[in-house]
Amino acid sequence: MITNTGKLAGRTLFITGASRGIGKAIALMAARDGANIVVAAKTAEPHPKLPGTIFTAAKEIEAAGGKALPCLVDVRDEQSVQSSVEQAVQQFGGIDILINNASAISLTGTLYTPMKKFDLMHQINTRGTYLVSKACIPHLIKGKNPHILNISPPLNMRPRWFKDHVAYTMAKYGMSMCVLGMSEELKDDGVAVNALWPRTAIITAAMEMLGGKEVDKQCRKPEIMADSAYVILTRDSKSYTGNFAIDDAVLAEEGITNFDGYAVDPKATLMPDFFLDEFDAALQKSVLQNEEKPAAVKAKESSESDDVSVEAVFKSIEKLANEDIVQKTKAVYSFNINVPTGEPLQWWLDLKNGTGSAGKGAPSAAADVTFTLTSENFHKMFGGSMSPTTAFMSGKLKLQGDISKAMKLENLMKKMKSKL
């Protein structure tokens, strides 16, 4: 863990999306130095599903030793952004650091991404980052050791990071392109512009909405991003700029090599985050660990993966389904299951309507997610030895539709493990 040094005392940080998650964690870390924090977010009233408002975050910041200015800000609205920047300058005398953390996500393919969702991601991620940076730069140039830090990934141009969620990748990479361009543009002004991205999934309210509450064991806490951000923000802005940093790599440079303290469950296998080259290696390792079985065992599994055993799985799911699971999942799934001999099997699972149901053939309602996989991998998924995320990313599962809704199915599969 990083120890506060006091280097951010009296400095002013403008943080978008600071009412919860990574943004708030960075704010609290800086607050312990005695920094001034502008809590720029759009949640003023309590959200039914997401914790925290600009006012509750401000109270936590002040309790940690900082000063807080809660500002109701929609980064899509130029007037809203400009007004909050003016308030910050009036309250604290300037702006020294900008954290572009606000972001929107939809892990959907082209045909499953409504233009309204496309526009939302681009307006918040790319345009919002550009707009807030533009408004803050005149004040950053006058600031002390000024930094812009975007919570965005390295610009990895491998097609695999575009093919399943091209709209999201474009929007998120827009934030990273701001780093690429603005770091050079502002170099002579001494303003550092860097990106920071987590090596693993980070447990936040948004992550829980994507993958369910049980996904937390596979994640690290937001504090690892806060600590690595603190290290970056206390480095010399004239010499450290234009970098696409990874959280634990930043901490390793500071001599921290044991990251168990940041894990929700140090014994659990961590879920790697998107856009990193080692992502595939980690997934392949996970797959191999689950597939080291004697040929005779594999043959037995294959012979058992017929229509009867598939039907048994769906009957078990129907028995488990209830209104609570439906409310948490809200998705219709279609399964195209390839068997060793004979025609592919098609089954559906409705966890969007009533108390949940399942059946053979095509679903009567439009599927939110369609899975295509072998019967062997179908049983591995519902038996708990292979997660849908791992299967999808390693190419053992083809998926059409909303990846976030596919992730929600993992929780049900974990419950199924003891029932099959």
User: Mean pLDDT throughout 316-343?
Assistant: 87
Phi first, then psi: what are they for 248, rounded to 5°? -75, -25
Does the pLDDT at position 287 exceed 80? no
Q: Where are the beta strands (DSSP E) in 322-418?
A: 331-338, 345-351, 357-360, 369-374, 398-401
- Using 50, 70 and 90 to split pLDDT, how confident is the model at 204? confident
Q: Is 168 a catalytic residue?
A: yes
Domains of the chain: 12-276 (3.40.50.720), 280-416 (3.30.1050.10)
Query: How large a percentage of the chain has pLDDT more than 90?
Result: 62
Q: Which residue has the higher pLDDT, 417 or 74?
A: 74
> Which entry of 168, 173, 262, 333 is annotated as an active-site residue?
168
Q: Mean pLDDT lowest for which of 78-92, 333-347, 357-371?
A: 333-347
Does the pLDDT at position 409 exceed 70? yes
Does the pLDDT at position 299 exceed 80? no
- Using 50, 70 and 90 to split pLDDT, how confident is the model at 227? very high
Which pLDDT score, from 0 to 100, does residue 212 have?
57
- In 3D space, the residue among 396, 382, 371 whose CA is nearest the CA of residue 284 turns out to be 396
Does the pLDDT at position 264 exceed 50? yes
Does the pLDDT at position 319 exceed 90? no
Which pLDDT score, from 0 to 100, does residue 302 have?
44
Which pLDDT score, from 0 to 100, does residue 363 have?
92
Q: What is the DSSP string of 42-86?
A: S--S--SSS---HHHHHHHHHHTT-EEEEEE--TT-HHHHHHHHH
What average pLDDT does the structure give for the chain? 88
Does the pLDDT at position 238 exceed 60? yes
- pTM attached to this predicted model: 0.81
- Using 50, 70 and 90 to split pLDDT, how confident is the model at 285? low
- In 3D space, the residue among 147, 231, 149 whose CA is nearest the CA of residue 192 turns out to be 147
- CA distances (Å), origin 325, targets 21, 82, 96, 216, 319: 25, 43, 46, 18, 12
Which pLDDT score, from 0 to 100, does residue 25 have?
97
Query: How large a percentage of the chain has pLDDT more than 70?
Result: 87
